[in-house]
Structure 1
């Protein structure tokens, strides 16, 4: 059990590193699109986000989780978790702002805390899990 927890902790650290790198990539891409390509901020954000998704998948798959599964098996699951990530982020923000009537920054903090942990769990236990065959 200790070996499994230490291996999981190592995967979580790599997961966080990839998340940080792709977040930085997103930020640079959005900035470049707005400041140097003349794209409006909202479409620039969407384009940068979409550009970061394949990078995140490749780095999570190859570096963070070191999946040996077929890409055709991992990718649809990853995209489903990613869609859930977007929905969960919106749900957490709605809960904090509309139900609890707290400021949106609390929603940002809650989202940044809750969502990555849930995403890690699904990536680790379902998307990039080693499957027989």
Structure 2
């Protein structure tokens, strides 16, 4: 029973931080598109929004979700690599959706908002913050 409560708590915290980071990304991407539409493409705007959301995500997941006490020199490079994968997805998906398919920005944002959290949960739990002491 304790393991189920701990798992539920972990997933709930991940969801809260993840939803907040995802919402932050989406709002920033759409706001940047409204501000710079004439001078920047969807992919560039998506990367800018993703960068800001990634910083929030690391801090919130380390402190709140995983309560990690692992070594920064171990976790940060892994988080950066995971974020690079997210960057790649948040760049390639809007290129395909916007430039190739000609679909609007909200389709790109929705795709990024679905794919990235799925990858992140497993990678953060089992790889990035794997050195934490789980109670």
Same fold (TM over 0.5): yes
Unpaired stretches in structure 1, ≥5 consecutive residues: 91-104
Q: After the TM superposition, which residues 107-126 of structure 1 pair with which residues of structure 2 at under 5 Å, given as runs?
A: 112=114, 116-126=117-127
The alignment covers a number of residue pairs equal to 115
Change (3 A) 1:30 1:68: same
What is aligned with 2:21? Answer: 22
Q: Give the TM-score normalised by the residue count of structure 2.
A: 0.65
Q: Give the TM-score normalised by the residue count of structure 1.
A: 0.66
Unpaired stretches in structure 2, ≥5 consecutive residues: 93-106
Offset of residue 54 of structure 1: 1.2
Superposition RMSD on alpha carbons, in Å?
Answer: 3.2
Q: Is the 8 A contact 1:15 1:60 kept in 2?
A: yes
Change (3 A) 1:115 1:54: closer
What is aligned with 2:98? Answer: none
- Using CA pairs under 8 Å that are at least 6 residues apart, name the structure with larger relative contact order, 1 or 2: 2
